[in-house]
Chain A
Amino acid sequence: MLDFVQALIDGILYGTTYALIGIGFTLVFGVMHKINMAYASASIGAAYVALVVGGLVAGASAWLVFGLSFLLGGLFGLLVYLICFHLIPLGNENATLMSTIGMLLLVDELIAHATQGMPQNYPSTAFGEEMVRMGELSVRGDLIFVFAVSVVAMGALLALLYRTRMGLATRAVAQQPVAAQLCGIQVVKVNALTFVITGLLGGIAGALVCSAVGTLSILITGPLTVKGLIVTVIGGLGSVPGAIVAGLLVGGLENVVLYLRGVTERDLYVMLLMFAFLVFRPNGIFARGAGRD
C-alpha cells in the first residue's frame, strides 16, 4: 500500500512536466486552432543547446543550464512560429500541420546527430541528493524541485493570461480572432508571443524532464510528444487548467501502473485513458457536457 502511495506521489510530482508540455500544446491550439507538433522536440532541443552552451561557458552548472534552456526555449518557439506558421496561409490546416511535423523530424534529427545518438548527462540541482521523509514515505528532492518550478511557471502563466493586457489580448484572439483584429489587436503579434511564451515554458519543461531522469536522450522526444498530446486531449484542447490537471493525472496514473504492472502496460493504460476521454468526454475534463449545437 505504501509503495503504491509512493509511486502515486512520485508520479504526480513528475506529472507537472507533462502539464507544462500539455499547456504548451493547448495554449497554441486555443489561440491559433493549430497544433505545434514540434513543441516537445523544440523543448528538448532547447535543453540540449543549453547544456552545450552552459558546458562551454561555465561548466554546466544546473542553474545556468536551466536558465539558458528557458531562454532558448522562447527563441526556438519564435523560430518555429516564423518558419512553420508565419510563412504559410493560416487557412490551410494541412499545410501548417505538416510543416510542424517536418520541423519535428528536423529537430529530432539535429539532436540525434549532434549527440551521435548517445545520451548526455544532464545536471540536476543539489536537491537531487535530498530526500524528504514523511513517515514511511520518502520523496525525492529533485522531484519536489521539479514540482515547485513547474507550479511557479504555471502560476506565472496564469497570471500573465488573466492579469495582464497581453494575456487579455491573447484570450481575445483565442475566442474571436476577427473581432480582435477589428479592436486593434495585432493578431500576428499575439500569435508570435504565444509561441514565445509556450516556448519559454517548454524550455523549462525540457530541462526539468532531463534533469529528473538524469540524462538527455533523443529517445525522450517521441514519447514526450505523445504524452503531451494525450494530456492536451484529456485536459481539453484550449484549456490551460485542464492541461494542468490532466498532466498530474497522467503522471500519477503512469507511475502507478508502472509500479503495479510494469513498463509495457504503462503506456497502454495511458493511451486507453485518452481513448476513453475521446469517446465519452471529447471536450476534456472541464467540458460543459456534450452540446450538439
Chain B
Amino acid sequence: MDFYFGLIQIIGVHTLLGLSAYVILLTGQLSIAQAAFYAIGAYVSAMLTVLWGWHIVPALFAGAAMGAFFATLVGFPALRVRGLMLVIATLAFGEGVRLFFFNFDYQIQKGNVKVGPLGPEGFRQIRYFPENGWTTFDVMLFVWVFVILVMALIWWVDRSRYGAVLRAVGDDELAAQSVGINLTAVKVSAMTVGGGIAGLAGCLYAHYTTHIEHLGFGVLQSVFAVAYPIIGGMASVFGTLFAVIFVQGILVEGLRFLGDWRNLLFGALIIVAMVVRPTGFLDALMLKRFARWFALGRERA
C-alpha cells in the first residue's frame, strides 16, 4: 500500500511542477528552468527544517518564496529574449543552478553528526517527517492539500481577467501592448508565480524523499515540468493533471515490463504524443466537449 501512497505523492509533486510551467507557458514563454526553482525550494526548506529546526509549514512557504524570488530575478532578463532564445537561456540557467548545488557545502554539527548539503553527495537525512511521526499516508495527504490548493488557485486565475490577459500576451504581444497591457508586469509576474509553485513542489519533494542531490534537479526535471502542460493541453489545469497521471502511470507500468528503461519510455512517449496530438490532449476544442458533456450530465441528473 505504501508503494501506491508514494506514487500518489510523486504524481502530486509532478503536478505542481507541471502547473509551475503551465502558468508561464500561458504567456508564451517556454521555460526549461523550472527545475532550478524546484531545487532552490528543496534546498532552502530542507536546510530550514534540518539545520535550524523549523516547522514544515513555514519552511514550505519560505522555500516557495525563495523560488518565486529567484524566478522574478530571471523574469526580467527573460524579457529581452524571445521564443527559442528563451528556451536556451533557461536551459543554461537551470544547468547553472544544478552546478551550483553540485558544489554547495553547508554543514553544521548537530550532536555528533554533521548535517546539511555536501556538494555532489547532496543533502541527506532530511528527516522531518519520520522524526515527527508522519506516515506515508499522512505525507501523501499533506502533499495533496497543497496540490489541490494550487490547482484551485490556477483554475480560478484561468477564469479571471488575469488569466485572459496572460493568454492574450501569449497570443500576440504587440496587440496586447496596444490595448494597454503592461507586458513586463504580466510576463514577470507569471514567472514569479511559476517559480513559487516550483519552489513549493521542491520543498515537498525534499521532505518525502529525505535525500536530495544535484542530479535530481537537472534538465530531465525541467523537461518533465514543461512536458506535462504541453502534452496535457493548455486549455485547462486538468490537462496537466491528466498528463501527469498518464505519464507516471505508463512509466510505472513500463518499469514492470521493461525494467530500467524509464527515460527511454518517457522520450518515446513525448515523441508519440507530439506526433499524434501536437496541440495537447485537453486543448480548446476538447475542453468544450468535456464542458458540454458535464453540462449534459448535470441536466440529466
Contacts and interface: CB of A to CB of B under 8 A. Distances in A.
A and B touch in the complex (CB under 8 A): yes
Interface of A: 29, 33-35, 83-84, 87-89, 92-99, 101-110, 113, 222, 226, 229-230, 232-233, 237, 264, 267-268, 271, 274-275, 278-279, 282
A203 B93 CA distance: 28
Contacts of A271: 92, 95-96
Contact of B271 (A83, A113, A237, A278): A83
**Chain B interface main SS type:** helix
B88 interface: yes
Contacts of B152: none
A271 B96 CA distance: 7
A108 B89 CA distance: 22
Given A226-B95, A271-B96, A98 B261 contact: no
Given A87-B275, A98-B226, A106-B268, A264 B77 contact: no
A275 B89 contact: yes
15 contacts: A35-B88, A83-B275, A84-B274, A92-B278, A94-B30, A95-B230, A98-B227, A102-B271, A105-B263, A105-B264, A113-B261, A113-B264, A222-B219, A271-B95, A278-B89
B220 interface: yes
Contacts of B103: 264
A116 B279 CA distance: 36
Given A232-B88, A279-B80, A95 B279 contact: yes
Interface of B: 25, 30, 77, 80-81, 83-85, 87-89, 91-93, 95-96, 99, 102-103, 218-220, 223, 226-227, 230-231, 260-261, 263-264, 266-271, 273-275, 278-279
Nearest to A232: B88
Contact of B91 (A33, A226, A237): A226
A35 B90 CA distance: 14
B84 A88 contact: no
Q: Which of A83, A98, A99, A271 has the most CB of B within 10 A?
A: A98
A278 B86 CA distance: 9
A85 B102 CA distance: 35
Given A264-B103, A282-B81, A101 B96 contact: no
B241 to A, nearest CB: 18
B270 A98 contact: yes
Contact of B80 (A83, A107, A282): A282
A237 B278 contact: no
B130 to A, nearest CB: 32
Given A102-B274, A226-B91, A278-B81, A109 B96 contact: no
A99 B80 contact: no
B267 A226 contact: no
Contacts of A83: 271, 275
B223 A110 contact: no
B85 A105 contact: no
Contact of B85 (A95, A108, A267, A282): A282
Nearest to A88: B278
Contact of B268 (A98, A101, A102): A102
B92 A274 contact: yes
Nearest to B96: A271
A153 B28 CA distance: 37
B261 A109 contact: yes
A229 B84 CA distance: 11
Contacts of A279: 77, 80
Contacts of B227: 98, 101-102
